[in-house]
Amino acid sequence: MKFKMSENSLFAVLLRAPWWISFVVMLVFALAASALLPREYVPFGVMGAFPSW
């Protein structure tokens, strides 16, 4: 069985985009995590942003 990635998923769009765009998306997620999460959960939120980069 072959799996096919959706052409409009975030991961597929970031694969086609220049590297710096995915870096900006990662920074936005990391900043949002640090602003919205309680202090003890911030490292986990920031680490969760890294798979998009």
- Report CA-CA distances (Å) from 9 to 18, 21, 35, 44, 49: 16, 15, 26, 24, 16
Residue 36 in any domain: the answer is yes
- Looking at residue 52, its pLDDT comes to 57
Its pTM stands at 0.70
CA-based nearest residue to 33, from 20, 44, 23, 22: 44
Q: How confident is the model at residue 3 (pLDDT cuts 50, 70, 90)?
A: confident
- Looking at residue 53, its pLDDT comes to 55
Q: Which domain holds residue 47?
A: 10-52
Residue 4 in any domain: the answer is no
- Looking at residue 34, its pLDDT comes to 93
Q: 19: burial class by Cβ within 10 Å (0-12, 13-18, 19+)? A: exposed
Residue 33 in any domain: the answer is yes
Residue 21 in any domain: the answer is yes
- Give 14-50 pLDDT, tens digit per residue: 889 898 988 898 899 999 999 999 999 999 999 988 8
Residue 1 in any domain: the answer is no
Instruction: At 31, list the tokens.
Output: 């900043």
Element (H or E) spanning 25, and its range? helix 19-36
Asked whether residue 1 carries a pLDDT value surpassing 90, the answer given is no
Residue 15 in any domain: the answer is yes
Structural domains of the chain, count:
1
